[in-house]
Structure 1
Amino acid sequence: MSNEILSQCWKLRIPQTAKFVLISLADQADNDGICWPSVAFICERTSLCDRAVQKSLKWLREHSAIRIEANAAAKGKNLYTVTPDNFTPEPVSPPHKVHPEPDSPSPERGSPPPPNVVREPPNDVRTNHKKPSTNHQGPKGNSARAKVELDVADLVAEGVDEQVSIDWLVVRKKKKLPLTKTAWLDVKAEAVKAGITAGEAVRIATKKGWAGFEATWNWKGANTPPGRITTQAAHTGFDQIDYQKDADEWNATN
């Protein structure tokens, strides 16, 4: 390592990444500034990636801070010569002059400079912010009703056949009877009383065109409408009475 070359490299005003690479080369160079480290070794010493090291070596060579002889060292390595005395910094750009327009009038002698006018934004700027809603009652209309009504998927989950579920809901819709949870619980309870499953109860109700099911209905026999129970008349046997005989006996005694 040449302390003189290393000291000269420290004084150069160059980009930080390029300076890391240059200091690493100077630290390994002999008194003539010659060294031959691999790019991988420079990456390890400087904690830079391969691309950053390659870019820095190119920049240093273009500015004459180093010379590179490709494959000139042992095992085909590049031979580097650190030359801080030959470093050529980038030219400094001259400051840009501001020229007034050709037709602009010249300011009068002794006139003050123009004031810095700062325009403040107007106070009546309209914003697009909306006040948060205070309605915490939840959805209205059909969306609220949909949460309490049962659909085909709910019936299938209860063991009812899918097509039977569709047909039964059509029957209830025609009668304007939405299937609520309460109505469904009543059907299940009546099915238990009848000794059948809820799926069988729905199948029977669909076949008979019923919107519901009750164990007391004539669900085993004829298609009797719900609410109409066929019973025998309280006054029976009138067709078996001999009204003529009673009339003759009444005339004989009067």
Structure 2
Amino acid sequence: MSIALMTAAFRSPIQSTHKFVLVALCDNANDQGECYPSVSMLCEKTSLSDRSVQKSLAYLEEKQFIQRRERHGRSNYYYIADPRTWFTPEQYSPPNDVHPTPERGSPPPPNVVHPTPERGSPITINEPSLEPSVNQSGRKVRGKTILPKDWILTKKLGDWALEEFPHWKADDVRRIADKFRDHWVANGKQMKDWEATFRNWCRNENRPWTANARASPAKQLSAKDQARQAVSEALTGNGGGQHGRIIDI
């Protein structure tokens, strides 16, 4: 359950039935806005009919409040959009109350000093926030994400793969990247670092290449080397027959 998303959902400027379904989704979502409740669960939470819930989900998806992805044999996967996209800047920003400039000659405002607490007074403890900490860029710390459907191989990762595995060609790296994207998009699993996951994927893909190199056939002997080998076998008795044996006199 994300308190921030639920608070924004209650403030959302949409019709009450759609808002109720959005609140129910936020109640199931993690701090990254990801959830996968079934339609029956949403009906139970909102006391709405199956048809009403389906209509609200279609409306929320059309208005880009949520993104929905179907999973065969399982409940749909929902991603709740950033609440800042739900409002206009005026609706999202709090009112800016500007105090009037004091008249000239007005006395300075009183300096109210809070009294020192008595000894033995209870200590006030501020509980930690339920919301995840964020860095300066606004991205959530320690969060896991799923691989986006439009993931593409970056030049940085492509150069790393060609340098790490010199026997690969550019087409090999692109084929491996396509295989990597299709696997993880279909899997839907969350990871903290997708670049590290891709590097490990390349190392696993390289194992068959190394095994094939070890299992390659021996180098074909030249005609000259074959003749030398035949003479050696004849002299040592490995040629077979009476002509290949040495007779002591």
Structure-1-length-normalised TM-score: 0.33
Larger radius of gyration: 1
Higher relative contact order (CA 8 A, sep 6+): 2
Structure-2-length-normalised TM-score: 0.33
